[in-house]
Every structure is written in C-alpha cells, then in structure tokens.
Structure 1
Amino acid sequence: MERGRSGLLSVAVTVVCAVTVLAAPGTAFASARPDPAPAPSASGSPSASASPPASASVTVVPDKDLQAVRTRLDKLYHDAAVATDAYNAAEEKAKKQSAELAGLNRRIAEEQQELDRLRDLAGAAARAQYRTGGLPPAARLMLSDSPQTFLDGAGRVLEGERAAEGLMAQTARAEQDLKRLADDAADRWERLEANRKTKEAAKKEVERRVEEAEKLEARLEKRQRERLARLEREAAERAQTAWLDTGILKDLRGKASEAGRKAVEFATAQIGKPYVWGAEGPKSYDCSGLTSQSWAAAGRPIPRTSQEQWKRLRHVDVKDMRPGDLIIYFDDASHVALYVGDGTIVHAPRPGRTVTLAGAGTMPILGVVRPDAE
C-alpha cells in the first residue's frame, strides 16, 4: 500500500527532524532587578555592562536621562522574559511532540510488519488456489472418481474460502489502521513544525530585546553605570521596605516542609551561577529553570515555565507562605523566585546577572504557589 509506505517514511523523517529541533541550543529570562554582581554571558560576548572599546563611536547618554534609561531597560528585559517563557513553553511542547512521534513511528513499523505478514498469507492462499485450477464445484464433481472424494474436497474448499475471506478482511483492516496512523503522523508533524516556528520566533524576540538592552547599557560611561546600579538598588530597597512595612512578616507562620527545605537547599547552592535564558542548569539558569530544577531535586517535578507554574500549581495566600513556595511576579507571570524565609527570595534575575538573594517585595507580586501542596 503506497500510502502506508509513504506515511511510514514520513514519520521516520519526522522523528529525525524532531530530534534536530530539540538539539537546537536554547537559552531564558527574568525581569530586570538589582543584583550585587554581574555575570559573563554564556556566549562569551562582552557583558552588557562592559565599557565599549575606546575606538567605538558611541553616543553618550546625558545624566538627566539615566532614570529614563533604567525604565527602558526594565521594559526591555521584561519583554525578553515574556518571550523567554514562550520559548520555554514551545521547547517543552516540542519534546512531548517528538516523544509522541517516536512512539507513533514504532506503532507504524509494527502495523507494517503485520500487514506484510497478512499479504504473504494472502499470496500463499492465492497460489494454492491457482494450483487447484480454480474449477467450480460442479466441474470438479464431473472429474472426480468418487462422490465422497468430491464432498471431502468441497468441504476443504469451503473452509479455505472462509479462511480467505477472513484473511482479506484482516488485511483490509490492517491497511486502514496503517493509513490512519500515517495520517496521524502527518498531522503531528505539521503541529511540530508550527511549534518549531513559534519557538524560533520567540528566540529571535528574546535575542532582539536583550541585544537592544545591551546596546543601551554600552552607551553609558562607567560612572553612569555605577549611578544606574545605585538607582536600581534604591528602587529595590524602597519596594522591599514598603512590603515589609505592611507587617507581612509578622503574619507569616508557615514552616518549610521536608521537600521545601530540599528545594531551598538546592536553589541557594546555585548562588553565583550566571543567568542564561532557556537554561536549566547545572552551570546556568533562567528564573523558571532554577525553580523547576530546585523542586525536581526535592523529588517533586513541576512545570517548566513561570506561567505554567502559576496556572497549574496550587495557589496559597501570601500570609500562609512558607520556605520553598514559589513567588510569581508581574501581572503576566513572567518571573518566578523561590522563597527562602525572612522576607527573602533566591532567583535568577536577568541576562548579565547571577543567581542571587533578594528581598521578596522588590518586584510586584502576582501571587504564591506551593509545589508540594497535598
């Protein structure tokens, strides 16, 4: 059956392509926030905060515009965070789709073997019938030496005809099953291709936003970068102070679970490792890569992206927060951190920064989720 064979070939190509998609290097993001130390970029390119070469033609930013620069950088890195979540989601979907296609490929191979077996049997039956001459029963009676011999042969012929009919029906069903599987594989391949395009578009968006932010930071003089860092620290301190002034810590009464304690231990052990968008360790992380791997280390796998963590994990009230819980930030759930207690989080902030501790209230809190909620 040509359709079945072409479907099988299509799926084989599909799996190879799917593996190629998954092998593509990727890297993710979180929102711009203060961090005590910059980190080298994974690509080995100059850091966003590095001074431009003396020979470079750079338009220096006026001092009066530094606050506007900080606002713009926050926006660029936030947009990169959103695109990173889209990239991570597409990558996770691609892994699942590729696994499904691999399973479908195995089923198609099994169905093809069964169909080949049935066709061989049908061919053998046809050859046997050909050897008997294919004469009608009346003619065989006339040529037979005895009626009993004829009747015995007629009985065997009837059984053979019934068996042949059953074999033909089996073969037809096998052909239909193979066609259905081939069509399913083609459909899944189309979805994988569409998802690959989504992933590539998200990747380009992340790279574009990060590159724009790096170029903007490269225009700053050293003293301006230092001033910008002070502005970030001051903004973070104001936000944290305002959060603490609500009396939130007095209301917190949650104690870490055993799994939560393990997640905190894992996350804090990563402090100092660089942020790389799309990374899940062990040498670098993005925000949700850090939280998902921390809970995986605690024996509780959770969704990969911050948005899925917000959607699928159990929500708890902030006043019930305990160490190990995840704090989701911004209205679009584009950043996530792991709460370690005493009003502090550990998180992977953004490109050019490292995994670090920060105040839990330094960014707008969307809500809190608990990975090990019963």
Structure 2
Amino acid sequence: MPPRCPRRVRSHPARAARLAAAALAAVIAILMSTGAAHAEPSPAQLEAQIDEAWNQLEPTIEKYNQVHTLLKDNQAKAAALQRQLQPLEAQVEAAMGQVSEIAVRAFKGGQVTALDVLLHTDSPEALLGQLAVVNEIARNQRASVRSVAEARDKLAGDKQALDAIIAQQSQQDADLAAKKKEIEGKIAELQKLRQQAYGSGGGTGALKPVACPVDYLGGPGGTAAKKACSLIGKPYVWGAAGPDGYDCSGLTLTAWAAAGVKLRHYTKWQWEDTKAVSRSELRPGDLVFFFSDLHHMGLYVGGGWMVHAPTTGDHVRMAKLEGRPITGYRRPG
C-alpha cells in the first residue's frame, strides 16, 4: 500500500487572529516598557546640561588665556634683559682687559705699595708722580668697572627673578594645556548631546534673527558692533581670536581692534581695562559680562541683543540679554 500523505492541519481563522493580537500586545508592552526606562531627555533638558557643563569648562579656557599671555609677555621681557646683559658683559671684560697690572691688583684688593713703584723709579720726584698715577689709575678703573658690573649684576638679578616666574608660569601653562585633551573629550560629549537635540547642524535657531547691529551708532562703539556682526557664523574655537574662529573674549577684542582700541585676551582683563556703565546707558559696542567669576562675555548691538561666541560646537551668533546671569556692563575707550 502506498504511503499516505500527512494530513494538513487547517488553523481556525478566529483562533489565529486571537494569537496574533496577543503577540502584538506583548511586543507593544515590551517596547513601551523599554521606552519608559530609557526616555530621552527633552531639548530643553539637554540645553540645560550643555550650559551647566560649559560653565565649568569656560573658566579653564579663560585662565589658560591669562596664563599663556602672561607667559609670552614675560618670555619677551627675559629675552630683552638677556640682550641688555650681553653688551654689559662685554664692557666688563673689555674694561678688565684694559686695566694695567697694578690697577687690576688694586681693583682686586691686592697689595700695591711704594716698593712696587720704587723698583722701577729712578728719582724721588718720579716716585711721587708715579705713585699718584697708580692711585688714580686704580681709582678710575675701580669706578669704571664697578659701575658696569653693578648694572650687569642688577640686570642679572632681575632676569633670575623673572626666570623663576617664567618657570612657574610655564608649569601652569603646561598643566592647563594638558587638560586640553580632557576638555576636548567633554566638548565632544556636549556636541553629541547637541546633535541629539538639534540634529547635526548643532544650531538652536537662526544665528542672525534680526538686523545686526539693531541700533546704528557712529564712532568706535558702532564700528566695534558692526565688526562683531560681520563675524556671525564663525565657529567657536577656545583660546582663539580669529580669523578662523573665536572664543568670547577673542571675539570682543577683535571687534574693538577694528575701532582702534586694544583689549587683552582675558575676560577679567577686559573688565579691568574698561569703565562701568549702567543698563540705561548701554549702547552698541559696550561689553556685557556674565557670572560672578566673569568667565563669559558678549558685545551689545542694541535692542536688547548681543553678539557672542557661546560654546564649542556652536558659532558666533546673536542672543537676547534677557534671562541671562549678567554681572555688569563696561565700555572700552
């Protein structure tokens, strides 16, 4: 007898539908429970995290600006002192070479007596004259060499003290530079958060939502404001003052440089080098400082707006002053 084909089992339509519905409900329940456990933070929460983290990083950046600038200034001073020391050393050597044997012995405190002269003198008159000459030579050579040597020793002492300061600042500079990798790692994490919240563009809106400057002003302040506005869109680069990127104090010093006013690359120095103005006196070009340690700043462009370099991953942009932790307003010039 030929083998029989196995019997095909037909599933009941209603039963299959019930099974499919139950499976779908189970999957949905799993997905919902997973989503609840790993809920993504909202854009507002991410922005708050970025602001908090950046406010911890930016003071380090500004401190680096300060130390690095001071180090370069002191290194230049040390080089200038070294250039002054070289001719003084040569003068001392030349003066010592020109001193006669007797004058050298006198300058060094050796024994110069009448016997030294008597052995080479034929008469009492010549003896007296030559003794006078010996004394004059010794006196003049001592004074000449001493004055140059004193100047040399003073400069050498100044340079030694400056070298000690440079050594300390070099260590600080190296320590801060060593943090760069760590800072950049944190910055990369922040950028990922920004991309999660806003996409790969990293923006939170238009960089220039209104006309910039909002209020037109002639003079240096107006020139600085227009320069700041022209830099909108440039990337934030910590420790930079252009032309390819800017940090907050690098942006403001570049803007005011266009008006012929020199500011130093450090927020606290810019605070110190400018005069206070009130909120009612605020006009385009004025500097706006934030936080108690002054670690961030922007440049006012009118209408309640400023231009600033906000944070890494971002760009020079306009922002409203309202709602920010303003410490004070200052005016250069």
The answer, yes or no, to whether TM exceeds 0.5 is yes
Residue equivalent to 1:334: 295
Residue equivalent to 1:3: none
Query: Is the alpha carbon distance of 1:314 and 1:213 closer, same or farther for their aligned partners in structure 2, counting shifts above 3 Å?
Result: same
1:321 matched to 2:282? The reply is yes
Residue equivalent to 1:353: 314
Query: Is the alpha carbon distance of 1:272 and 1:219 closer, same or farther for their aligned partners in structure 2, counting shifts above 3 Å?
Result: closer
Query: Is the alpha carbon distance of 1:362 and 1:159 closer, same or farther for their aligned partners in structure 2, counting shifts above 3 Å?
Result: same
Task: Find 1:171's aligned residue among 125, 145, 169.
Answer: 145
Q: Which amino acid aligns with 2:115?
A: P
Cα distance in 1 between the residues matched to 2:273 and 2:253: 13
Aligned 8 A contact 1:337 1:346 in 2 = yes
Q: Report SS of the residue matched to 1:73.
A: helix
Q: Report SS of the residue matched to 2:59.
A: helix
Residue equivalent to 2:115: 136
Residue equivalent to 1:294: 255
Residue equivalent to 1:160: 134
Question: Of the two structures, which has the highest relative contact order with CA contacts closer than 8 Å and spacing of 6 or more?
Answer: 1
Q: Which amino acid aligns with 1:96?
A: D
Cα distance in 2 between the residues matched to 1:183 and 1:346: 47
Aligned 8 A contact 2:117 2:131 in 1 = no
Shift of residue 80, structure 1, vs aligned partner? 1.5
Q: Report SS of the residue matched to 2:297.
A: strand
Aligned 8 A contact 2:277 2:331 in 1 = yes
Q: Which amino acid aligns with 1:136?
A: L
Query: Is the alpha carbon distance of 1:125 and 1:270 closer, same or farther for their aligned partners in structure 2, counting shifts above 3 Å?
Result: farther
Aligned 8 A contact 2:235 2:244 in 1 = yes
Q: Report SS of the residue matched to 1:63.
A: coil
TM-score normalised by length of structure 1: 0.66
Cα distance in 2 between the residues matched to 1:228 and 1:66: 14
Cα distance in 1 between the residues matched to 2:225 and 2:193: 38
Shift of residue 175, structure 1, vs aligned partner? 3.2
Gaps of 5+ in 1: 1-59, 234-253
Aligned 8 A contact 1:277 1:285 in 2 = yes
Q: Report SS of the residue matched to 1:203.
A: helix
Aligned 8 A contact 2:300 2:307 in 1 = yes
Aligned 8 A contact 1:346 1:356 in 2 = yes
Aligned 8 A contact 2:104 2:138 in 1 = no
Query: Is the alpha carbon distance of 1:201 and 1:152 closer, same or farther for their aligned partners in structure 2, counting shifts above 3 Å?
Result: same
Shift of residue 135, structure 1, vs aligned partner? 6.5
Residue equivalent to 2:211: none
Residue equivalent to 1:73: 50
Q: Which amino acid aligns with 1:318?
A: R
> How many percent of aligned residue pairs carry the same amino acid?
25
1:285 matched to 2:246? The reply is yes
Aligned 8 A contact 1:275 1:354 in 2 = yes
1:89 matched to 2:66? The reply is yes
Which shifted more, 157-166 or 351-360?
157-166
Shift of residue 152, structure 1, vs aligned partner? 3.9
Gaps of 5+ in 2: 1-36, 107-112, 206-214
The 4+ residue runs of structure 1 with deviation greater than 6 A are 227-230
Query: Is the alpha carbon distance of 1:342 and 1:164 closer, same or farther for their aligned partners in structure 2, counting shifts above 3 Å?
Result: same
Task: Find 2:182's aligned residue among 205, 208, 211.
Answer: 208
Shift of residue 98, structure 1, vs aligned partner? 1.4
Residue equivalent to 1:39: none
Task: Find 2:96's aligned residue among 119, 126, 141.
Answer: 119
Task: Find 1:198's aligned residue among 137, 157, 172.
Answer: 172
Aligned 8 A contact 1:77 1:209 in 2 = no
Shift of residue 323, structure 1, vs aligned partner? 0.6
Cα distance in 1 between the residues matched to 2:133 and 2:100: 17
Q: For 1:216-231, what aligned pairs fall within 5 Å after superposition?
A: 216-218=190-192, 222=196, 224-226=197-199
What is the number of residues matched between the two proteins? 283
Residue equivalent to 1:312: 273
